[in-house]
């Protein structure tokens, strides 16, 4: 028997969330509670997030115990939790329906007139954050789900009372195919998550299916400069609004730079729409801002709110985030974990006037490192000094017998550090006044930078 999650996102239903401390599970718990559900959860570890949920009256059990699902009407899990998990196994045995996190967000989305879903291999968190700032400036009181912390919210989510929900929408495991976007933004399509997708064509197919979820009266906002995106959306029977640096329905004109920060006119339909001055550096952020402006325009947001919202955006957490100083060197952290993202980051910082760029990079997953090995080698030659932490395993086992040391051997002057403590120690030895020190990766490399800053206090 197939269960519909819509029947369970209702007041007084009991929902148990497995992995409730996760980046998009904890806000889901809050949103479900806000809709009148009785929410419980479990997680492997105590954390600030778990403590916060408990202050809201949401009980959280540490560890995965079969008895935790007793009394639940449904169970919601993250993609990392499989059928052999003790709680999931107990729920299935008891006939309690088990849903994926993405299905729950999809069900919630249907309660909003506008669902703005931001997808793409790179730039999702930043662009979702930009959209959030714009809709806040427009006083549209949006609900928001971002895969990182946005300083303006003090969190990665917001429960609003307006008619719009804004969601970062991830392609991994085809999660975003459970969504119901009225505006679907596709920033770019690149080869990634090759532990799940077969190849680039498989990824393109997934993004096309995502675009096809948009109703006929909705909009697909797509990057005219990205060949893979345009190929994925070829002959799509939806309204496609393109954006690009110099081409597209929405594009930039009169682009100027001040200390690495761009200002430009947003042109829509050949007419000037807004004049934007960004508080984040890099040409890639011009593209992200154009995507956000295009999406906002599709939903009737005025130009003044686009200008105000984008000017107020100073970056999302772990997106070129300033951590502090160490002996005259500036320490920043960034989430980049794909060669294209690394290239965008390293190209941007080259123009910021530092004496040297020292990049401490922690590759994320063995499969990504293996599949994109040559690309990583090339891009990691860009910094003045590259320090390599060991690969962050995430959900994987090292069946490929690969190490960051393999990358280090191919990069002149690179330093391999088996532990984060050694990364911090190496950065202490390298640091000079005028340097930019970057900790980069999607794992826990930021801890090395934080330890470095603390050592300098």
Residues in the chain: 457
Q: Which two tokens stand for residue 169?
A: 């929408």
d(CA 222, CA 244): 9
CA dist list (Å): 277 to 242, 261, 445: 21, 8, 31
Q: How do strand 114-119 and strand 183-186 relate by DSSP bridges?
A: parallel
In a 13 Å sphere around the CA of 225, the CA atoms on its Cβ side amount to 16
Residue 110, CB-side half-sphere exposure with 13 Å CA sphere: 13
- H/E/C letters for each residue in the chain? CCCCHHHCCCCCCEEEEECCCCCCHHHHHHHHHHCCCEEEEEECCCCHHHHHHHHCCCCEEECCCHHHHCCCCEEEECCCCCCCCHHHHHHHHHCCCEEEHHHHHHHHHCCCCEEEEEECCCCHHHHHHHHHHHHHHCCCCCEEEEEEEECCCCEEEECCCCCEEEEECCCHHHHHHHCCCCEEEECCCCCCCCCCCCCHHHHHHHHHHHHHCCCCCCEEEEECCCHHHHHHCCCCCCCEEEEECCCCCEEEEEEEEECCEEEEEEEECCEEEEEEECCCCCHHHHHHHHHHHHHHHHCCCCHHHHHHHHHHCCCCCCCCEEEEEECCEEEEEECCCCHHHHHHHHHHHHCCCCCEEEEEECCECHHHHHHCHHHHHHHCCCCCEEEEECCECCCCCCCCCCCHHHHHHHCCCCEEECCHHHHHHHHHHHCCCCEEEEEECCCCCHHHHHHHHHHCC
Contact 321, 315 (CB under 8 A): yes
Is 204 part of the annotated catalytic residue set?
no
The one catalytic residue among 87, 121, 124, 424: 124
Q: Which of 40, 78, 121, 125 is catalytic?
A: 125
Q: Which of 304, 300, 323, 320 is nearest to 129 (CA)?
A: 320
Q: Walk across the sheet containing 60-62 and list its strands.
A: 60-62, 38-43, 14-18, 74-77, 98-100
Select which of 168, 321, 341, 371 is catalytic.
168
Active site residue 168: yes
Catalytic residues: 124-125, 168
């Amino acid at each position: 028997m197939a269960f519909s999650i819509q029947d369970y996102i209702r007041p007084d239903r009991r929902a148990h969330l497995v992995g409730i401390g996760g980046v998009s599970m904890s806000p889901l718990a809050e949103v479900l509670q806000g809709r009148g559900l009785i929410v419980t959860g479990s997680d492997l570890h105590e954390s600030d997030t778990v403590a916060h949920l408990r202050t809201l009256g949401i009980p959280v059990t540490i560890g995965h115990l079969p008895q935790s699902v007793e009394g639940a009407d449904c169970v919601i899990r993250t993609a990392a939790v499989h059928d052999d998990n003790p709680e999931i196994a107990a729920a299935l045995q008891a006939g309690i329906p088990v849903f994926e996190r993405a299905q729950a967000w999809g069900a919630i989305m249907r309660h909003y007139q506008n669902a703005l879903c931001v997808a793409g291999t790179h730039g999702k968190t930043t662009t979702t954050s930009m959209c959030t700032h714009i809709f806040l400036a427009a006083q549209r009181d949006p609900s928001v789900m971002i895969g990182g912390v946005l300083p303006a919210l003090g969190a990665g989510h917001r429960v609003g009372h307006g008619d719009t929900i804004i969601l970062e929408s991830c392609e991994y495991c085809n999660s975003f195919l459970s969504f119901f976007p009225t505006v679907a933004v596709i920033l770019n399509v690149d080869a990634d998550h090759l532990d799940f997708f077969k190849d680039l064509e498989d990824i393109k197919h997934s993004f096309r299916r995502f675009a096809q979820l948009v109703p006929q009266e909705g909009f697909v906002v797509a990057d005219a400069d990205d060949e893979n995106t345009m190929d994925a959306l070829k002959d799509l029977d939806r309204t496609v609004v393109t954006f690009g640096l110099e081409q597209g329905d929405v594009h930039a004109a009169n682009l100027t730079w001040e200390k690495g920060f761009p200002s430009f006119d947003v042109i829509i339909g050949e007419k000037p729409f807004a004049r934007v001055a960004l508080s984040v550096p890099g040409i890639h952020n011009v593209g992200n801002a154009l995507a956000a402006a295009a999406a906002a325009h599709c939903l009737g947001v005025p130009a003044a709110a686009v200008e105000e919202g984008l000017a107020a955006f100073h970056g999302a957490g772990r997106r070129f985030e300033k951590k502090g100083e160490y002996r005259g060197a500036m320490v920043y952290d960034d989430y980049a974990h794909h060669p294209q993202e690394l290239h965008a980051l390293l190209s941007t910082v080259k123009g910021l006037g530092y004496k040297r760029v020292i990049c401490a990079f922690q590759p994320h997953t063995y499969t990504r490192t293996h599949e994109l090995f040559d690309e990583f080698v090339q891009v990691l030659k860009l910094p003045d000094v590259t320090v390599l932490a060991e690969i962050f395993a995430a959900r994987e086992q090292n069946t490929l017998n690969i190490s960051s040391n393999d990358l280090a051997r191919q990069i002149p002057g690179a330093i391999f550090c088996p532990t984060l403590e050694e990364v911090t120690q190496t950065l202490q030895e390298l640091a000079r006044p005028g340097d930019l020190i970057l900790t980069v990766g999607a794992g826990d490399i930021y801890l090395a930078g934080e330890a470095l800053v603390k050592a300098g206090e």
